Structure 1
């Protein structure tokens, strides 16, 4: 089975808080989603953050690629970007229970998936715990 391609963004405010969201199943992660036809990776990352959390963000740099199998057994390949937002205001869609901008240490504690924690450490230049 081919991997579903997607893109996501680790969005930071100017004071280095990071955006995370909580899905209805209780898991905390970053906004990410599949690529629409004709869309490039950067456009996908920007669209997903805006659609999922109502946050306007700009791409700062490319971070890397995560490969994993989701809960439905579908392989995913997510191309990540470090992004920045000028505001810490979040306007969540109905998809999520909660979310917002958190200090890095708090976000690391909340994130459920090892890949997400690794990406945040990488974006912050931290060593693996």
Structure 2
């Protein structure tokens, strides 16, 4: 099993909505991805948010902590236990409204009201993480 580190963001707009992104048309998550060599977790989070949502104007608020999970299995079903990710998450706000993903592996992004985010997230560990922090977002 390979262990990797990823970073991502919870991005909130002025309406109190959160960006959720789609991978390969079959799973939904918060924007995140692998940390490149020489990159800090915060830098990686900003880069991944830009790639997966198109949002580049981010105001850093605070670190939200880290959690571990296996990658999502093919076709968005189950877990692929060949990779265990440690995911570092950060909270950002933005005045940008337009979502325009540039990563072809993440073709869609949506603004979702906070109370509806958990139900849309595919991976149980992503849902568990969001539930643990959502009350601190208001």
TM-score (norm 2): 0.82
Give the secondary structure class of the aligned counterpart of 1:74: strand
- Matching residue of 1:107: 117
Stretch moving more, 8-17 or 115-124: 115-124
* Cα distance in structure 2, aligned partners of 1:97 and 1:51: 10
- 8 Å Cα contact 1:89/1:100 also seen in 2: no
Alignment partners' CA distance in 1, 2:2 and 2:108: 32
5+ unaligned residues in a row in structure 1: which ranges?
Answer: none
CA contact (8 A) 2:52 2:109 kept: no
Query: Displacement, 1:112?
Result: 1.2
Per-residue deviation, 1:85: 1.3
**How far off is 1:13 after superposition?**
0.6
Q: Is residue 2:80 matched to residue 1:79?
A: no
Alpha-carbon distance, 1:25 to partner = 4.6
Quote the residue 1:95 is aligned against.
Answer: 105
Runs of 5+ consecutive residues of structure 2 not aligned to the other structure? 74-79
Matches within 5 A, 1:6-25: 6-25=6-25
Between 113-122 and 37-46, the greater mean CA deviation after superposition:
113-122
